[in-house]
Structure 1
């Protein structure tokens, strides 16, 4: 049995609709049947595509102020039906359930709502139920169903539809399912941590996104990944792409300069301080810190200076990375990971 499947029908439910346009253009070319509801349906129709309303499929309207739209056997049966299972095929026919080959969902922005300091009722209403259920159902049935679980995946989906003429391979669907469950896990972790408030958690549930590839891990043969918004933590002024070890050094340097109220400068190599100085000016602090061990510092070091400071007229050590701490209380912790065949480690120091 072939593992390549043509997409004949799609269910789309998206909070962010504008980025859907390239996908919709490809779906239109391929004459794929589209099911949708509410604002997503209106948007798709405005792009010139025919849409079958979910309410028409289920014979039920959207109820409870929009809390219940897609939660219906005629929707989930079409997503979860297994090809090659005679009983599944018979039940689809008996109950008039169409097969759904592609599920595209962009969840309510729960994380953004938290950052906006919304009311409790506003936050609760941004806990997506139908969307997350659609994602998990499609991901579970990845042998037959393709799932797209965030707007960041729209561009790659549009490319796939164009290059593979509307078909997906088993590998495409399996990878998409893995990404879908990652989306679900992160979403649930955010909700869990919000509802816990100050209560003792029964398990450690933290999630950091996006992921950024580092130059290498703890050793050159290892892969390093940073999770979180690196640019929100500090600004890299020069030097090569950062490695895992660079971030560990920078974390140590920043923790050192946070001990001082006045202008401070720290230079580290391989987690060891080569020099630290507190002076009236950044240039003097840098020069005196460099004087502590100029040989190590000029070989390969990571430097950190107080927030808002620059190095006017001061020569930078060759091959160095000069980092200005963006804040003493960043919005998210520094979280980096290094992976390899011999060693793996994860750190999440509060920088």
Structure 2
């Protein structure tokens, strides 16, 4: 039960969800006034925070409902939801580097992009399911950027809007300045007529807030696809450069090819003489393939292959000698040995 001392949230405030706004404008353009107007004297807001300094600006948080907790003793405790976040970006003037300003703002916009991208599987393709998840009421993406533009924007403002509009929905105030920007700037489809109309749009029009979240999700999915393709191309280029940078290594070449150099030379010589056949005859003693006389292992194997034929030839010659002649030879040999022994 909500204590009587706490403001009661409205139906719009209870269902609003998270709203994260960026306010951009030149120095003295009224960004702080707009931020205070959005939360002060707003019946949808039940709690207002104070300004906190951050890199690139300052932030103020507010709540449209309470979060109920129970402590260890079972007592109810209510804390502000802090579901409204308004970031006032540092003001600019025409002496500032527009590229530096855009880079600073994009680093803020991309911070939740990176967190959400890490939570999604890399192989997950864009789909209605993914888009609805990213565009939910609790999405960490920035809902939109409110740009306090001069009535007649210069090329300086047009450059910022053109480059930022690809990453976050942009609402231009006053509305009369909106028509000064080209259609390629990709402004938000919402164009409230004044600051009060902007407050009513954000806090009392759920359809408008849902539309802004959808636009923010579309830009996130586009950024994710660009990053994915760029990473794939960069990886391919690095692999190609590494392949092209590989230099010829003489030692490696010799280790791979010198061992068979003599065999290749011998084979090429036989090819020139026309002695190479499709199926060379089988060598004796199981020696397979052509023997290379310039190759020491081949010469050794060739010598071993001659032992078998020599043994067969000697055995055949001994078998052809008559038995009588063999006995006579044995007698003469024995007689000679006996005479030699007596002397």
- Greater fraction helix: 2
TM superposition score normalised by structure 2: 0.29
Larger Rg: 2
- Greater fraction strand: 1
